[in-house]
Amino acid sequence: MARITINPDRSIGRINRNIYGHFSEHLGRCIYNGIFVGKDSPIPNVNGMRTDVVEALRKIKIPVLRWPGGCFADEYHWQDGIGPQEMRKRMVNTNWGYVVEDNSFGTHEFLELCRQLGCEPYINANVGSGTVREMAEWVEYLNSEGDSTVVRTRWENGKKEPFGVKYWGVGNESWGCGGNMRPEYYADEFRRYQTYCRNYGNHHLFRIACGPNTDDYRWTEILMQQAGRFMDGLTMHYYTTTGPDWETKGQALTFTEQEYYELLNKAARMETLVAGHSRIMDRYDPTKRIGLIVDEWGTWHQVEAGTNPGFLYQQNTMRDAMVAAIHLNIFNWHCDRVVMANIAQTVNVLQSVILTEGSRMVLTPTYHVFDLFKEHQDAEEIDCYVETNLIGFENWTVNQITASASQKDGKVTLTLANTSMHKAENVTVVCPNTGKVTARILTGAPSAHNDFDKAPVSIRAYDKLTVKDSEITFRAPGCSVLAISIE
């Protein structure tokens, strides 16, 4: 039996909608085929963007999209991706499968995609193999109204008004694929690069520094100490995987009970990481001016058999849905510091919300979790105290019930997951003013997933709740995610 006590009078602040953000890299079939098929494709599209994918992402209210990488960002030269598509420079994508990148999806295409999605663009620019001038001119190209040669080129490419891009990443994983830098060195590089990324007119940049990998607290300490005053955001990356090491990762569709709980236990580690990095940030930034941006998170399994290992294509089950629910609840709890998070990656790569095959598209269980959680966007986080058991396999344990709550326009939204592989749990929610209560549920066997021929996992209405005075009681099936709305 679990008990959740909601106190709508206590809040740590607003849940930034960007916590529900996404990440799309030039990697495998994420951008090409997954999102962008080109104007001449027989697959229905608007200006080259797949209509089915755009509509699905609009439905979950995608708030922000990070691009072009990832590791790819530090080899990407933006001038190669503007002008007539057939004239664009070709390159080999050395990070991801050594395939030819023809640069047909570039700056204008990305911003067209964001326009169609109705989301904010977040551009991650090149420090590793780029130059200060190259980065400075990209900002000028995007945001300036001045009559310069760079801006005239934008006009020639059909865009008179500035794009007004706000979220600006200065390098990606600069401790690894972005240049193997030491934090002291990167801190100086960040200070230098960001100096020349100007604010044009009303277009003020939100400058994002490359933050730590997982639990590299020293990186955070040095960045905050030496460059904190120049940044608005600091990133953090953490992927959830199973197995003793990176090479022997488990699979997406086939897993043991141990691997199920191992993955969930490791997903819950995000709490420790966010709290740990936040504590360091608090020392240098007690007013929380600088946001923590978890701009890469999600599960990383073995690629599906027969697919290009460099394309990171994996299926997605209810187990991944549990991981998503665990993460999103954690980000809500820390919304006073976490201002953005970007699941890796939107389509056909790692923990995708959408998979495509030719003209066909399927929504993954993770997609449905984003659908269940979307009411939290821009709502006030509210106190949600959970009394629950630890469950698991040997040392791989996790809280059986994980939950977070928010309120907006007089409506409380509670999202919760029963992380047990099979065991249902009786839940009592105590919340003042329970008027109209409705619920939606996503549930299935831990390995249940959607495929192109069969898509059994979807959200259903859930009416098996009893409401009495200020108490709501129900039975949450094992391996389930619920969104409860209390008006």
When the beta carbons of 70 and 106 are compared against ligand AHR, the nearer one is 70
Tokens of 192: 């230098």
When the beta carbons of 297 and 333 are compared against ligand AHR, the nearer one is 297
When the beta carbons of 109 and 173 are compared against ligand AHR, the nearer one is 173
Give the 3-state secondary structure of residue 108.
helix
When the beta carbons of 98 and 196 are compared against ligand AHR, the nearer one is 98
Task: Map tokens 């047990």 to a residue.
Answer: 420
Q: Please return the burial class of 464, using the count of CB atoms within 10 Å of its CB with bins 0-12, 13-18 and 19+.
A: exposed
**Which residue in the list 296, 375, 381, 425 is annotated as catalytic?**
296
DSSP assignment string, 110-135: HHHHHHHHT-EEEEEE--SS--HHHH
**CB 239 → ligand AHR: shortest distance, Å?**
7
Q: How far apart are the first and last CA of the chain?
A: 25
**173 flagged as catalytic:** yes
**296 flagged as catalytic:** yes
**CB 248 → ligand AHR: shortest distance, Å?**
18
When the beta carbons of 71 and 165 are compared against ligand AHR, the nearer one is 71
Among candidate residues 193, 196, 195, the one with its CA nearest the CA of residue 210: 193
**CB 249 → ligand AHR: shortest distance, Å?**
13
Residue of closest CB approach to ligand AHR: 70
**CB 292 → ligand AHR: shortest distance, Å?**
17
Q: What's the chain's Rg over C-alpha atoms?
A: 22
When the beta carbons of 71 and 227 are compared against ligand AHR, the nearer one is 71
Degrees, nearest 5: CA angle 66-71-72:
75
Kind of pairing, strands 425-430 and 471-476? antiparallel
- What distance in Å separates the CA atoms of residue 451 and residue 152, rounded to the nearest whole number? 47
- What distance in Å separates the CA atoms of residue 390 and residue 388, rounded to the nearest whole number? 7
Give counts: helices (H), strands (E), the chain: 9, 27
Residues found near ligand AHR in the complex (CB under 6 A): 25, 69-71, 172-173, 296, 344-345, 350
**CB 296 → ligand AHR: shortest distance, Å?**
6
**CB 89 → ligand AHR: shortest distance, Å?**
21
**Which residue in the list 173, 189, 262, 425 is annotated as catalytic?**
173
- What distance in Å separates the CA atoms of residue 417 and residue 442, rounded to the nearest whole number? 9
Catalytic residues: 173, 296
